[in-house]
Structure 1
Amino acid sequence: MSSAARALTDVAEAEAEAITPEATPQDFPLPSAIAARYTVGLLTIVYMLNFVDRQIVNILAEPIKRDLGLADWQLGAMTGLGFAMFYTTLGIPMARLAERWHRGRIIAGCLVVWSGFTVVCGMSTTFVQILLARIGVGVGEAGCTPSAQSLIADSVPLNKRASALGTFSMGVPVGSLAGLVLGGIVAQSYGWRAAFMVAGAPGVILALIAFATLRDPRPSSTPASRANLLPLSAVLAQLRQQPAFWWLAAGSAITSFVGYGQQAFYVSFFLRNYTPELAAAAQSVGFAGPLAFVGVALGIVLGVSGGIGTLVGGRLGDRFAAQGPGGYGMVAAISMLIAGPLLAAVFFLGSGLTILALLAVPLFFKNMWFGPVFAGIQGMIPQRSRSTATAIFLFVLNAGGLGLGALLTGLISDMFATSYGEAEGVRYALVATSLVSFLSAACFWRAAVAMRRAA
């Protein structure tokens, strides 16, 4: 169709067109709209619990540090590297399993594993024990995201994919909100061990619901269908022909480096710098202490601003990509270009309460990348290999972001602390990592260029 004829079509019809060519057509029908909404909704709740169990350690970092006598680098290893080592490496074999078997049941089984190890974290009495328990959480969570994202991609129309994956990605900020609020309130009254146990228990119930009700629209695995699966080497060979995939992965890894690194030390930053102010604020609203207040306040800021950012980013991704697949990368690039300087500046803006409130602005922009990037990834690869490609993408993302973010932020904090003290050391570490966002914006922009050239 010529550009002149296209200009005469209805806008709604244009947005309903395929916004990026699929690597292969889907070889089974989509479920009903109601069934698709249920799948996206339930998986969003599962993903939320995923991040409750993954991120609750951040609100508990200071009590754990005092109780177990840890340094900041050990906090970083516990919150990031220890979890990421197995989360990243097991993601690919779990994804291969998801391409052969029922994805809903795989997700349910993984949910039981990571919830159980979250409870074990609360029983730990040494650094090694809690590190091993965090590794166990990572083992369980490794099978969730690749299976869930590919299941959503197979359940919704292409032109709604970024919005659906943006909704699913709300599990990140909302789960972080719930983890911070739950962890802060429970830890303030009953201790950090009780907080881990309360966070892990609901996973078993949700796993039963997922096992019984999640439907996989893909036909049951048969010897013939398994024979059509691409081997891992073939998937990697295909991805090597997709430079946009690697630019998106690099941008996401850098963005996650900033996000995971900073979230591990937000609570420490506020408690080390503004405890008297926060204690007074906690008393004025009836909280037991500053830890509970910071958990609730920071959870609301992260959850509300981040949740709105993921929704807006997903919808903008669908709209921009209606003009061409490069729109996915452009939404992510613009959002990170705005987020970086705002995030660096906010840590110097007055009182602790002021910083808490204003943090919502950069976090809104920083969370807009999820839907567009994940939708772009899902459209680049054959339908039957989506889980594997997602796992490869997440391997890059989490090895660089989750694995190194908290650890390096802790090392930077320790380095600055030798000259400026612990309180200012963590502030300068947060500022330094904020500026890395410019690199992620550049990677997303290069991805957008590559996607336009490949279209």
Structure 2
Amino acid sequence: MGPHTTATKAPETSPVTPAVSRGYAWLVFALSFGLLLSDYMSRQVLNAVFPQLKAEWLLSDSQLGSLSGIVALMVGVLTFPLSLVADRWGRVRSLVIAAVVWSLATLGCAVSAGYDQMLVGRFFVGVGEAAYGSVGIAVVLSVFPVRLRATLSGAFMAGGSFGSVLGVSAGGVIAQAYGWRWAFAAMGAFGLALAVAYRLVVTEKRLGPVPGEHGGRSGARAPLRPQLRRLFSSVSVICAYIGSGAQMFITMALLAWMPSFLNRYYDLATGKAGLAAGGFALISGTGMILCGVVADRLSRRAGIRKWTVAIACSLGSLVLLMTAFQLPAGPPQLTLIAAGTLVVGGTAGPAAAMVARLTPAAIAATAMATLTLANSLLGLAPGPAVTGLLADHWGLLGALRVVPLVALAAGVAFTIGRFSYEKDLRRLGPLTSDQAVTTLEYAP
């Protein structure tokens, strides 16, 4: 067949040169990553003190799950509108305000007198955290070359797991030594300090203009409505949203309930259970980074291979975790849980890279917000709550035996996306978030 003009077989590179130096780019990444750590530390410290709250306030597992799920629910509801505001109003100032809100709300949780007040505090933690992940990753991707997208996306999203490690493990230790209120207070103070540092170092002016933000020579912003339509204009990008959200259902269920699982079935005290669960969260974050690196390396000459990596991670997590929770308590079970945890979040980097590849750069934060919306509404919010509901009826172990089946839906979505990807790129043309990527010829 003759050659076709398309970006389908294009290497994952771009002639666009970031507007900042390499050193400053890594400084931006470090501070953005630090705030993401604070984000998840404030979110996940709750899971470390589940046993203490359950005993002090006589809460059911469903109530505990709701305290965790309300944060992800608010992230899901608000991430899109707040990210759109950040794209149009200023990403840096939006990030700083968000960090201040979730940090103050976490301090409020420290002085809660009961379940209702804690629920309100967690509500505002979710409000503050709603747009941080999507806007933060948009800022990070804007100052690095395109060829590093899956790696940086995986590494940035791994901050959620690393923050969970610190939140659960440090929170468990602080709670055991000084009480659960001091655990919340420490996380809130840490977030406020980082927000101040970010405001002093990172500015919109130093980051430079966003590629594709202005149209024509007049300097006016490009029309918004046509760009927003690109968020859902292809089968493959929709499949990336669905597949990523389904995998996050399993990831968040494991993060939320691993301390309680270790406490109930391995007789670990609160502090030790938190530390051990933190180790599993660390494994999850490491897997996100490693799978992102693998995806970038394999897709240098064929971007479609990112989908293959996502499919492999979904099916691998299904087999490993289903097998693990059928085994009795002991080292073999923990080993398989660790292996499943390594790959369960490995779809994060490839999925984010595909969303960035298929959407306009001028609304990059909004595109990442759409991915976060899918992650939250399909995975992060229902994961802990549904697992808690199932645990009330079948026991926690019974619930965890069912949860990995969600990976089947993720695998199907990624498979459909892979087969639609090349056709979608041909139809969409080169004006995706790689605005300046030149079309290449290839022979199919």
Above 0.5 in TM-score? yes
Name the counterpart of 1:420. none
Name the counterpart of 1:105. 93
Kept in 2: contact 1:336–1:366 (CA 8 A): yes
Could you say what secondary structure the match of 1:255 adopts? Answer: helix
Q: Tell me the amino acid that sits aligned with residue 343 of structure 1.
A: L
1:449 Cα deviation after fit: 1.8
Kept in 2: contact 1:252–1:397 (CA 8 A): yes
d(CA) in 1 for partners of 2:126 and 2:151? Answer: 27
Match of 2:119 among 104, 124, 131: 131
Measured against aligned partners, the alpha-carbon deviations of 1:104-154 in whole angstroms (never above 9, x if no partner) come to 222122111101111111211222111111110000011211211111221
Name the counterpart of 2:238. 246
Could you say what secondary structure the match of 1:310 adopts? Answer: helix
1:345 and 2:323 are equivalent in the alignment: yes
Larger mean Cα displacement after TM superposition, 106-115 or 29-38: 29-38
d(CA) in 2 for partners of 1:317 and 1:230? Answer: 33
Gaps of 5+ in 2: 4-8, 426-444
1:19 and 2:49 are equivalent in the alignment: no
Name the counterpart of 1:292. 271
1:102 Cα deviation after fit: 3.3
Name the counterpart of 1:325. 303
d(CA) in 1 for partners of 2:351 and 2:32? Answer: 18
Kept in 2: contact 1:326–1:447 (CA 8 A): no
d(CA) in 2 for partners of 1:210 and 1:342? Answer: 40
1:205 Cα deviation after fit: 0.9
Match of 1:414 among 383, 387, 392: 392
Kept in 2: contact 1:326–1:450 (CA 8 A): no
1:57 and 2:46 are equivalent in the alignment: yes
Count of matched residue positions in the alignment of Structure 1 and Structure 2 = 414
Name the counterpart of 2:193. 205
Name the counterpart of 1:379. 357
1:159 Cα deviation after fit: 0.8
Larger mean Cα displacement after TM superposition, 200-209 or 364-373: 364-373
Match of 1:368 among 343, 346, 352: 346
Larger mean Cα displacement after TM superposition, 170-179 or 212-221: 212-221
Gaps of 5+ in 1: 4-16, 279-289, 417-424
1:246 Cα deviation after fit: 0.8
Q: What is the correspondence of 1:44-193 to structure 2 with a 5 Å cutoff?
A: 44-80=33-69, 82-193=70-181
Q: Tell me the amino acid that sits aligned with residue 167 of structure 1.
A: A
Name the counterpart of 1:255. 247
User: Percentage identity across aligned positions?
Assistant: 28
d(CA) in 2 for partners of 1:119 and 1:352? Answer: 38
Kept in 2: contact 1:150–1:378 (CA 8 A): no
1:51 Cα deviation after fit: 0.9
d(CA) in 2 for partners of 1:334 and 1:215? Answer: 39
d(CA) in 2 for partners of 1:241 and 1:292? Answer: 48
1:227 Cα deviation after fit: 4.3
Measured against aligned partners, the alpha-carbon deviations of 1:411-436 in whole angstroms (never above 9, x if no partner) come to 111121xxxxxxxx100101100121
Give the TM-score, by structure 1 length. 0.85
Match of 1:219 among 201, 206, 209: 209
Larger mean Cα displacement after TM superposition, 151-160 or 33-42: 33-42
Q: What is the correspondence of 1:1-20 to structure 2 with a 5 Å cutoff?
A: 19-20=11-12
Measured against aligned partners, the alpha-carbon deviations of 1:271-306 in whole angstroms (never above 9, x if no partner) come to 22221xx3xxxxxxxxxxx11111112212321x22
